[in-house]
Amino acid sequence: MFDTFPWPQWSFNLVTGKSNQKGIKYQESRIEVAIGVADAARELRNIRNRIRIQNQWSLRELYRTLEISGENPLKDAHEKLDQAVKQAYLYGLPREMSKLTPLELLLCLNELCVTAETEGIEIVAPGLPEFCKKYSRFFSEDCINM
C-alpha cells in the first residue's frame, strides 16, 4: 500500500468545488480506475522482481537497463503504470487538462486543492482512499526485502 501516494481528488470537482457524488455508476467507475492503477503497479513489481531475480541484479543494475534502446518489458510496465495514474488523475476533470505536461498538471491540481481547502472543502489525504479499503485487490505482500 502506498501511504504517501497522493490519490486524485474524486470526492468533489476541483474546478467547481461541487460534490462529485454522481451515484452508483460514478462509484463503480472510480473503483475501476483505481484498480487499473493497482493492477499496473502490481504488474510492474512482478516484472521487476522476475527480471531482477533471474539476472541476480540489484535495483540499480536493473534500472540501468532502461537506458538501453530497444524493447524492454520493464520500460513497458512503467509506461502502463504511468498511463493508469494519468487516467486516475484526469478522471472527472475538464478534458483540456489532459493536454498539460505531468508537472503542469500536478501544479494545477495542487493549486486547486489549496483553493478548495481554503474554502473549507475537505480534500482526500495521501494514502489509500476510504472507498478502496474494502477491496482486497489494493493490498499485497510483494515487496523487496533487505
Confidence of residue 52 (pLDDT cuts 50, 70, 90): very high
Of the CA atoms within 13 Å of residue 107, those in its CB half-sphere come to 5
Does residue 23 surpass a pLDDT of 50?
Answer: no
More confident residue, 142 or 26: 142
Return the DSSP state at 124: P
pLDDT of residue 28: 55
Q: Which residue bears the cell 470537482?
A: 13
Per-domain boundaries in the chain: 24-138
Does residue 103 surpass a pLDDT of 70?
Answer: yes
Does residue 123 surpass a pLDDT of 60?
Answer: yes
Of the CA atoms within 13 Å of residue 58, those in its CB half-sphere come to 3
Does residue 43 surpass a pLDDT of 90?
Answer: yes
**pLDDT (tens digit, 9 = 90+) per residue, 54-82?**
999 999 999 999 999 999 999 999 999 99
Amino acid at 7: W
d(CA 34, CA 50): 24
More confident residue, 126 or 120: 120
pTM summary value: 0.75
Query: Mean pLDDT across the stretch 31-58?
Result: 93
Amino acid at 116: A
Top mean-pLDDT range of 22-31, 64-73, 109-118? 64-73
